[in-house]
Amino acid sequence: MDVDGRMEIIRELCSFEGRLAGTDAERRAANRLAQRLRESGRKAEVEPIYVHPQYGLVHTVHCLLGFVGSLISISIAPLGFGLVLVAATSTYLDLNYRLYLVRSLLFRRASQNVVSPGSRPGAPACLVLCAHVDAARSGAVFSPARARLGARIAHRSPVPLGLFRLLFWSLAILLPLLGARMAGVDSGLLSLAQLVPTLILLVGVFALIEIELSPIVPGANDNASGVATALSLAGELDREPPENLDVWVVLDGGEECLQEGMRAFLRAHRQGFDRASTFFVSLDAVGHGELRFETTAGWAVSYAMDRRLVELCAAIADATDLGAAPLAQGMAADSIAARLAGYRAIGLTCREPDGTIANRHLPTDRPEEIDPEALERAHSFTLELVRQLDRDLGRHGAAGDEPRPRRRRRRSLMEVGA
Euclidean distance between CA atoms 8 and 239, whole angstroms: 21
Distance CA 30, CA 388 (A): 30
Angle at 159 between CA 158 and CA 162, to 5 degrees: 130
Which pTM was predicted? Answer: 0.92
pLDDT per position as a tens digit, 354-391? 999 999 999 999 999 999 999 999 999 999 999 999 99
Amino acid 399: pLDDT: 61
Q: Rounded mean pLDDT of 85-102?
A: 95
Rounded-to-integer distance, Cα 223 and Cα 357, Å:
11
Confidence band for 418, pLDDT divided at 50, 70 and 90 = very low
Sign of the CA dihedral running 385, 386, 390, 391: negative
pLDDT above 50: residue 412:
no
Q: Provide the CA 236 distance to its chain's centre, in angstroms.
A: 25
Half-sphere exposure of 112 (CA within 13 A, CB side): 22
Kindly give the residue spans of alpha helices, DSSP state H, lying in 129-251. 144-156, 163-182, 188-212, 225-239
pLDDT in tens, 153-193: 988 888 889 999 999 999 999 999 999 999 988 888 999 99
Q: Is the pLDDT of residue 91 over 80?
A: yes
Provide the β-strand partners of residue 291: 350
User: What backbone torsions phi and psi does residue 260 show, to the nearest 5 degrees?
Assistant: -65, -35
Pair 305, 347: CB distance under 8 Å: yes
Q: Is the per-residue pLDDT at 232 higher than 80?
A: yes
Q: How far apart are the first and last CA of the chain?
A: 28
- Distance of alpha carbon 124 from alpha carbon 120, whole angstroms: 9
Number of DSSP helices (H) and strands (E) in the chain, helices first: 12, 9
Q: Which helix (H) or strand (E) holds 334?
A: helix 334-340
Instruction: Decide if pLDDT at 408 tops 50.
Output: no
The answer to whether 264 and 254 have CB atoms below 8 angstroms apart is: yes
- Cα angle 398, 279, 408; round to 5: 60
Rounded Cα–Cα distance for residues 379 and 94 (Å):
32
Could you tell me the pLDDT band of residue 334, with boundaries at 50, 70 and 90? very high
6-34 pLDDT, tens digit each = 999 999 999 999 999 999 999 999 999 99
Residue 338's SS3 state is: helix
Whole-number average pLDDT of the chain: 93
pLDDT at 402 over 50: no
Q: Are the CB atoms for 39 and 33 separated by under 8 Å? A: no
The pLDDT assigned to 1 comes to: 86
Burial of 82 per CB tally in 10 Å (0-12, 13-18, 19+): middle
Residue-wise pLDDT tens digits, 250-268: 999 999 999 999 999 999 9
SS3 120: coil
Residue 289: CB partners within 8 Å, gap ≥ 6?
350, 351, 352, 353, 357, 358, 371, 374
From the number of C-beta atoms within 10 Å of its C-beta (0-12, 13-18, 19+), residue 241 rates as: middle
Radius of gyration of the chain (CA): 22
How confident is the model over 268-283, as pLDDT tens digits? 998 889 999 999 999 9
Res. 406 pLDDT band, cuts 50 70 90: very low
pLDDT (average), residues 108-137: 96
